[in-house]
Amino acid sequence: EGFIVPKTIAVTGLCRTNPEEQDEEEWIWEDCPDDFDVDFMDLWYAVRGGGGGTYGVVLSMHLQLHDAVPLVDYQPSSSEECLATLFKDPPLGNPDFHPIMVEFMATYVMTPSVLNVTEDESRACGATGSMNYPTCYGEENVSQSWMTFLAMKNITGGADCLVRREIDGFPVAANAPGTRFEGQIPDSPQPGFSAGPLDGILIPRSWVQKVGVQKAIDVIGQGSLYGVTAEFAIV
């Protein structure tokens, strides 16, 4: 009473009684033993963010290995011909940020069907940071979708302006920035009162289909020179 939304007043949980079992379908969950020393209210507090700071609580970890699949990326060409035509006057002199690349990448991940790309092919590709070119694991058809995109835009030529590159091995993850708290990773962006960029967000595909790719680019990119720089996932 007196709350707009229901207030959590109690949290309970179960314990897995066969922790040695690897098959998740065979796991057995029952009431925790009397000597169980974890407070589920504390866990609930932690998974909601823990209040003033941010931290995570890992109680167990299960790794599932997969067969290695090909890793490729498709980078915009910096050849004189492409820079003079398709990628003319790119922001900051970098064709990665050219509106053509921004729109192509956004279309590939947001509305792949218009490029004759399947959901699985689209989900096999993504981009890191502010780079607006696809990096793909496994099966994909970026080269064909690039040609389809150029035809949609009534652009002649440009087939050689997206260069396929096979990557040997796996990308090296960037090291976490230094922090005065040894063993901890600092918040990024730092907590504050001012609004930050859209980051780490889930975007409903139905919304993109309703407003259109270009409107979605404008909203997500917030007018940035770099285009779609926010980290997002289409759901």
The tens digit of pLDDT for each residue in 182-196 reads 444 455 555 454 444
Can you give the C-alpha Rg of the chain in angstroms? 23
- Cα pseudo-dihedral 93, 99, 101, 107, rounded to 10: 160
Whether 224 and 128 have beta carbons less than 8 Å apart is answered as no
| Average pLDDT over all residues of the chain | 76
> Per-residue pLDDT averaged across 121-145, rounded?
81
| Consecutive H or E run containing 119 | helix 119-123
**Range with the largest mean pLDDT of 110-114, 129-133, 145-149, 183-187:** 145-149
> Per-residue pLDDT averaged across 34-39, rounded?
82
Reading the block at residue 188, the tokens are 């990024």
Cα angle at 173 between 172 and 178, to 5 degrees?
130
User: According to the model, what pLDDT value does residue 51 have?
Assistant: 62
Q: How far apart are CA 137 and CA 126, in angstroms?
A: 9
| Range of weakest confidence among 70-84, 178-192, 214-228 | 178-192
Whether 107 and 116 have beta carbons less than 8 Å apart is answered as no
Q: Which of 139, 211, 131, 143 is nearest to 171 (CA)?
A: 131
User: According to the model, what pLDDT value does residue 182 have?
Assistant: 47
What is the residue type of 14?
A: L
Provide the pLDDT confidence category of residue 234 given band limits of 50, 70 and 90. Answer: low
> Between β-strands 201-203 and 232-234, what pairing exists: parallel, antiparallel or unpaired?
parallel
Whether 87 and 98 have beta carbons less than 8 Å apart is answered as yes
Taking the complete model, does pTM exceed 0.85, yes or no? no
Q: Which residue has the tokens 């009473």?
A: 1
Q: Which residue has the tokens 């993504």?
A: 126
Q: How far apart are CA 74 and CA 163, in angstroms?
A: 5
Residues in the chain: 235
| Range of weakest confidence among 14-23, 110-119, 210-219 | 210-219
Beta bridge partners of 15: 30
